[in-house]
Amino acid sequence: MENLDVMVLRTLRDWRLAGRRALLSTVVRTWGSSPRPVGSIMALAEDGAVVGSVSGGCIEDDLIARYSRAHGDGVMPTGAPALVKYGITADEAHRFGLPCGGTLELLLEYDPDAESLKTLVAALEQGQLMQRTVQLADGAVALAEATSPAELLVDDTELVNTFGPEYRMLLIGAGQLAEYLATMAKFSGFAVTLCDPRTEYHTAWTLPGVAITTEMPDDAVVAFKPDRRTCVVALTHDPKLDDLALLEALQSEAFYVGAIGSRRNAEARRERMIEHFEQTEQSLARLRGPIGIYIGSKTPPEIAVSVMAEILAVKNAVALPREAAVAVAKAAVG
């Protein structure tokens, strides 16, 4: 599965280029609990087709009924964007499936400009971080390349939403674990690249939609140009392949750099890097290993769940308890 925002914007672009009327709905404010965070987007075509989400489904149903012909009486307005609130009262919150006390506000943009959407999607597909500014008075849109991710901003005159390119994952080493991890990453919205110079390992690879390179892993990391939306995971257990790739990744802005292996292997890796590659404990502070969170996993699919959970926690800036670390948990149980 590709990045959800890109998928929504690409679909909306195609609808508008084909001359179909459509609206773009953006969650701009929430109070209390909310099923979807601020910045979430959804597109609705005049015939009732929907992509993306702004709630658990009930608000989408209401938008379809109000603004499409799916139920025969919906009408899609024209003109300036409109702000719409849901869940103001307890009864309305219950009716729209919002948690107790939950309220959210949406900005509805009617018939967004097709050429502007085309430019935005093209930039995102090229890996650019883009800022989209919407004037609330008339719906005029301005696009600009952003230098860093930012929270959605809205005031009385404009909405500013920053759209990032897809999160990316570079896997070092093909194999069963890599295939399970790549599958989970794709469903989590990551674009996945697999690197393994050992061509014989590719014969059993069956997962479509993953880019494959046979470069040496350290060269592949350099070519990949990891940024703050990138994770690099080494899975070969072979120091000749893993170590140099990990060192290159640690020189980048990748938000997650880690390697599979036992506690003993992880410690041996650190000792090698300090002894032979002039590393220090400080320079290796971001290197994760053994990777994953402790769930007692022993099979490849369960290990992949463990690793993906840790990657998503780091991506989402969630501080995991020390006891969740594999090395700490295993040391405690002996």
b/e code 275-313 from CB counts within 10 Å (16+ = b): eeeebeeeebeebbbbbbbbeebeeeeebbbbbbbbbbe
Q: 167-333 — its CATH code?
A: 3.40.50.720
Query: Which residue, chain included where needed, has tokens 């998503």?
Result: 312
* DSSP H or E stretch at residue 267: helix 263-276
- Name the residue ranges covered by the structural domains of the chain: 4-163, 167-333
CB-CB contact of 156 with 52 (8 Å): no
Looking at residue 4, its pLDDT comes to 83
* Helix axes of 326-333 and 263-276: crossing angle, nearest 10 degrees: 130
Per-residue pLDDT for the chain (334 aa), expressed as one digit of tens each?
A: 457 888 899 999 999 999 999 999 999 998 766 667 899 999 999 999 999 988 867 788 889 989 988 666 778 999 999 999 987 555 665 565 555 556 889 999 999 999 999 999 999 888 788 999 999 999 999 999 998 778 899 999 999 999 987 789 999 999 899 999 999 999 888 989 999 999 888 777 888 889 999 999 999 999 999 988 899 999 999 999 999 999 999 999 999 999 999 999 999 999 999 999 999 999 999 999 999 999 999 899 999 999 999 999 999 889 888 888 887 777 777 6
Cβ neighbors of 137 (< 8 A, separation 6 or more) are: 80, 157
- Is-above-0.75 flag for pTM? no
Burial degree of 170 (CB within 10 A; 0-12, 13-18, 19+): buried
C-alpha distances in Å from residue 184, one per residue of 56, 127, 178, 308, 316:
22, 21, 10, 7, 16
Looking at residue 234, its pLDDT comes to 97
d(CA 332, CA 161) in angstroms, rounded, equals: 45
Omega into 321 within 30° of 0, i.e. cis?
no
Q: Dihedral through CA 290, CA 296, CA 298, CA 299, nearest 10?
A: -110
Query: Which residue, chain included where needed, has tokens 């390992």?
Result: 201
b/e code 223-258 from CB counts within 10 Å (16+ = b): ebebbebbbbbbbbeebebbbbbbbbbbebebbbbb
Residue of 219, 129, 203 lying closest to 170 (CA atoms): 219
325: which DSSP letter?
B
